[in-house]
Amino acid sequence: MNFTRWSARLPGTQRRTAARAAIRARARSSDSAETTDTTGTADTPSDTDTGNPDADRDPGGAGGSTDTGNSPVTGGSTAPENAGGEHATSDPADGAEGAAGAEGPDASLPDRSEPGMPYAGTDPEGARTVGAPREAAPDRRTDTVTAPTVPGARSRPAAEAAGREGPDGPATAYGRRGAADTGATAGTVRAAQQPAHAIDSLPIHALLGQVPALAAVVHGAEHRIAFVNDAYVNAFGPRPLGAPAREAMPELVELGLLPLMDQVRRSGTPRTVKSRRVPKRRTEMVPDRRGPAPAGTTPGRRRRTAHYYTFTCTPITTSGDSGVLIFAAEVTDQVEALERLRASERRQREAAVTLQRSLLPQELEQPDDLRVAATYLPGGTDAAVGGDWYDVITLGAGRTALVIGDVMGRGVRAAAVMGQLRTAVRAYARLDLPPHEVLQLLDGLAAEIDANQIATCVYAVHDPNEGCLAYASAGHVPILVRDPEGTVRVATEHTGPPLGTGGWLHTSGSLPLPPGATAVLYTDGLIERRDADIDEGVTALEQAFAGASGSPDIICDRLLRALGISEDHDDDVALLVCQHPERTGQDAELFHNATLDLLGGTEAAPRARAFASGVLASWRFPAELRDLGVLATSELVANSLQHGVPPMRLRLRRTDRRLIIEVTDGDEHLPRRRRAEPADESGRGISIVATIATSWGCRRTPGGGKSVWCEFVLPGC
């Protein structure tokens, strides 16, 4: 069997052929009927139209031909097979009658054959029946729609709105099987001939009029109104068409959109402005979500007097004019949610700042031998509060501890950890331990508080008798010390890892701090910048510190200004300045030292009492204070002679506010106050000293041995 004739019998081929014929018939139905010089069978209803059930079984009538396989053939496109198996071509008139029988009264133009598969009874182009007069019929598939252009949009053919071509021919609203399927009715064919109403063919006014967002179209250099939708009218009121936007749209002037529209019209580039406030024409009641409702109450309602919109101006161009599409999407809920979020963050930040400030010293202790000033600046409004802290602790006997630290992280959690560490530092400082031992204790405590939290810290102790500053650092930025000549030294040694890491033995170092010297302790927020190395910040601080003079308060302000620290700085800053002043004139008369080396023996105690009595009298202390001082000296010296080892020394020191009595020896055993029984002959010395003195204490000295001291506050201080 010939392959061409065999493939024409396939049901899929016949259905596709019938579908293409129906689509072309529908496309030409709006034109006037074309007159043909055939036998007039086009006006005769086909068996398909009349509903003849035997149409598909007609062996040789006008309804078409059938082959020996009894497969339905559409439009007379296939002739019966002859005895020799050759392809037979039907008469032109018979081909026209076959086409009319298959397609109905509107099928005056037969189906166009597929390339490479010519139908019987058609010309090579497959446009008309062979022998029929050819007339040019308009092809609606080539008609195009002319519309204004918007960036990113393209014109489409009119036929594309009705249906798009697929790989097997035009796709119809009723599928690819077409109206010429076996058993198809004339109603199906007529439904295929109805015009399609595609969504993409709707006019722009019909589309913009249905959207809930604000939309308006203006054109020309004066931006004359061409269209406003209902949402725009509800927001701003009716607007007269054809009026200039500057006069008829005052809201655009208030929002500052007219210059933007001019720019969009000239450049042809869309522009957007976000979250513009638009007053509401009518007051609207909405649920109040600005904060949680009080306990036992229900959320109330509040008045909304304004809305927020994001405006987008898009250029529109045609062949003879240009304009701008103004589209506004309401973002009121988003703006109010953002405001609530900012208010919540602001409350949390205020709570963290309040907590941190309450944990910092409300008033710095002022030692007798140092002038101290400190400042703390939280990060800007966009930065969460950190864990920076500082402290000044008087240890007794004229010694002072200086502490500064920084807890990594931000927020209330960092502030809480900072408070715990600061409290622990004050407790450990009362033990009067060396700096590295204090940091060792803090390291273990920081790991217990939060294993994931680390902190940096510097602990330094100033001893006026030695004229030095002993320190230890746990991952903190270095201390700066400026001597009386103006030379700045950087304490880069004796620095260990941050607190909370564990497994490290910290060590202590020492820096000279004689009278006239100044030291600066600070956190990394003072010197660290995102675009520079931290060493550059240390160098900048060193240069600024070298030229900063005056009292500690003035030095703090000058350093902050020199390093560009302001209220909107992105990190917390803690700064502590201590100064060992040089005393001259009357101030120098208030600070005295007297020392006596005790050689031991039975004469040491009487000699110490005589020395103390003479010195206190020369310092013009009242008689009562002199007697108490002599008694305390006798008890401390007797305790050292009984329990200590040489070398032993007595030191009397006077400041402007107190009298200090200190005895040192070579034994490291620290005395403790205890209750003596009535029958005991010893154990009452320390109890007597603790009773008559303002305060007392003891500590181990760096070179070995111990120091026991007591203080008396001067009258009127």
Model confidence over 288-336: pLDDT tens digits?
Answer: 555 554 555 445 555 657 889 999 999 998 888 899 999 999 999 999 8
| Pairwise pLDDT comparison (182 vs 231), residue with the higher score | 231
Burial of 125 (0-12, 13-18, 19+ CB in 10 A): exposed
Question: What pLDDT score was predicted for residue 292?
Answer: 53
Q: How many CB atoms lie within 10 A of CB 37?
A: 9
| Pairwise pLDDT comparison (271 vs 177), residue with the higher score | 271
Name 597's bridge partners. 649
Least confident stretch, 42-56, 235-249, 459-473, 597-611: 42-56
5: its two tokens:
């004739």
Contact predicate 102/48, CB 8 Å:
yes
Question: What pLDDT score was predicted for residue 693?
Answer: 94
Question: What pLDDT score was predicted for residue 197?
Answer: 53
Q: How far apart are CA 177 and CA 188, in angstroms?
A: 11
Q: How far apart are CA 364 and CA 372, in angstroms?
A: 8
160: its two tokens:
């594309």
Least confident stretch, 46-50, 211-215, 537-541: 46-50
**pLDDT beyond 80 at 6:** no
Question: What pLDDT score was predicted for residue 530?
Answer: 81
Contact predicate 461/400, CB 8 Å:
yes
Q: How far apart are CA 428 and CA 422, in angstroms?
A: 10
**pLDDT beyond 80 at 163:** no
pLDDT band, residue 160 (cuts 50/70/90): very low
Task: Give the list of residues 6+ apart from residue 649 with CB closer than 8 angstroms, or none.
Answer: 595, 596, 597, 598, 663, 664, 665
Establish how many alpha carbons lie within 13 A of residue 284's alpha carbon, considering only the half-sphere containing its beta carbon: 11
Residue entry with tokens 């320190």: 471
Least confident stretch, 33-37, 281-285, 357-361, 464-468: 33-37
| Pairwise pLDDT comparison (122 vs 710), residue with the higher score | 710
pLDDT band, residue 692 (cuts 50/70/90): very high
326: its two tokens:
């103004």
**Helix/strand/coil percentages in the chain, nearest 5:** 30, 25, 45
pLDDT band, residue 587 (cuts 50/70/90): confident
Question: What pLDDT score was predicted for residue 134?
Answer: 42
Burial of 535 (0-12, 13-18, 19+ CB in 10 A): exposed
**pLDDT beyond 50 at 564:** yes
| Pairwise pLDDT comparison (628 vs 285), residue with the higher score | 628
Burial of 200 (0-12, 13-18, 19+ CB in 10 A): exposed
| Pairwise pLDDT comparison (152 vs 683), residue with the higher score | 683
Instruction: Give per-residue pLDDT as tens, 427-446.
Output: 999 998 999 999 999 998 98
Give the gyration radius of the chain's Cα atoms. 51
Using alpha carbons, select from 285, 286, 283, 258 the residue that is nearest to residue 273. Answer: 258
Relative to beta strand 224-228, strand 271-287 is unpaired
- The three-state secondary structure class of 276 is strand
- Class of domain 586-713 as given by CATH: alpha beta
Q: What is the mean pLDDT of the chain?
A: 75
Q: How many CB atoms lie within 10 A of CB 234?
A: 13
pLDDT band, residue 615 (cuts 50/70/90): very high
Question: What pLDDT score was predicted for residue 329?
Answer: 92
Arithmetic mean of pLDDT, 664-680: 84
| Pairwise pLDDT comparison (32 vs 363), residue with the higher score | 363
CA 678 distance to own-chain centroid: 73
**pLDDT beyond 70 at 132:** no
**pLDDT beyond 50 at 475:** yes
Architecture of domain 361-580: 4-Layer Sandwich (3.60)
**pLDDT beyond 70 at 67:** no
Whole-model pTM? 0.59
Distances (CA, A) of 361 to 155, 417, 423: 74, 16, 11
pLDDT band, residue 17 (cuts 50/70/90): confident
Q: How far apart are CA 71 and CA 96, in angstroms?
A: 20
Contact predicate 487/437, CB 8 Å:
no
- Supply the DSSP symbol for 668: -
Handedness of CA 53, 57, 58, 63 (dihedral sign): positive
Give the start-to-end residue ranges of the domains of the chain: 203-276+307-330, 361-580, 586-713
- Supply the DSSP symbol for 122: B
Q: How far apart are CA 34 and CA 133, in angstroms?
A: 10
Architecture of domain 203-276+307-330: 2-Layer Sandwich (3.30)
Q: What percentage of the chain carries pLDDT values higher than 90?
A: 38
488: its two tokens:
């700045």
List own/partner pairs for 133-140 with CB under 8 A and 24 or more apart: 133/36, 133/37, 135/34, 137/28, 137/31, 137/34, 137/109, 138/31, 139/27, 140/27, 140/30
Distances (CA, A) of 639 to 222, 388, 633, 635, 686: 103, 44, 10, 6, 8
Instruction: Give per-residue pLDDT as tens, 71-120.
Output: 333 333 333 343 334 433 334 334 433 333 333 434 333 343 343 333 33
Crossing angle for the helix pair 552-562 and 534-547, nearest 10 degrees? 140
Question: What pLDDT score was predicted for residue 76?
Answer: 39
Question: What pLDDT score was predicted for residue 279?
Answer: 80
**pLDDT beyond 50 at 35:** no
Q: How far apart are CA 84 and CA 503, in angstroms?
A: 105
Q: How far apart are CA 111 and CA 97, in angstroms?
A: 13
Question: What pLDDT score was predicted for residue 9?
Answer: 54
Question: What pLDDT score was predicted for residue 517?
Answer: 94
Establish how many alpha carbons lie within 13 A of residue 200's alpha carbon, considering only the half-sphere containing its beta carbon: 13
Q: Across the beta sheet with 648-654, what order do the strands follow?
A: 592-598, 648-654, 658-665, 706-713, 695-700
477: its two tokens:
């930025």
